[in-house]
């Protein structure tokens, strides 16, 4: 669980690949969603890709932003309420 919470630094190669593939999924699903007809299987496929890719991409990106731009002294302790993990 600690690797997921620190996805940009502790995750290693697997999380970087997940971030990369999530970006590819978003790039491919956007035109698919725009040009598919309402309620079609293509639109449902695009919606599924969005539902997976957006949280993965956003989580890893925001971890990287905090790590890169917020000094360690200013970060303090944060808690994941769902699992009560502190880091």
Higher per-residue pLDDT: 80 or 24: 24
Higher-pLDDT residue of 57, 3: 57
Q: What is the mean pLDDT of residues 6-13?
A: 67
* 80 within 8 A of 5, measured Cβ to Cβ: yes
What predicted TM-score, i.e. pTM, was given to this entire model? 0.70
pLDDT single digits (tens) 44-87: 999 999 999 999 899 888 888 888 787 777 766 665 555 565 55
Query: Is there a contact between 63 and 55 (Cβ–Cβ < 8 Å)?
Result: no
pLDDT 10s digits, 27-53: 999 999 999 999 999 999 999 999 999
């Amino acid at each position: 669980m600690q690797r997921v919470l620190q996805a940009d630094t502790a995750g290693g190669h697997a999380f970087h690949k997940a971030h990369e593939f999530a970006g590819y999924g978003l790039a491919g699903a956007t035109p698919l969603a725009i040009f598919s007809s309402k309620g079609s299987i293509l639109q449902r496929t695009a919606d599924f890709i969005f539902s997976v890719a957006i949280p993965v991409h956003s989580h890893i990106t925001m971890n990287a932003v905090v790590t890169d731009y917020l000094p360690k002294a200013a970060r303090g302790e944060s808690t994941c309420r769902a699992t009560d993990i502190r880091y």
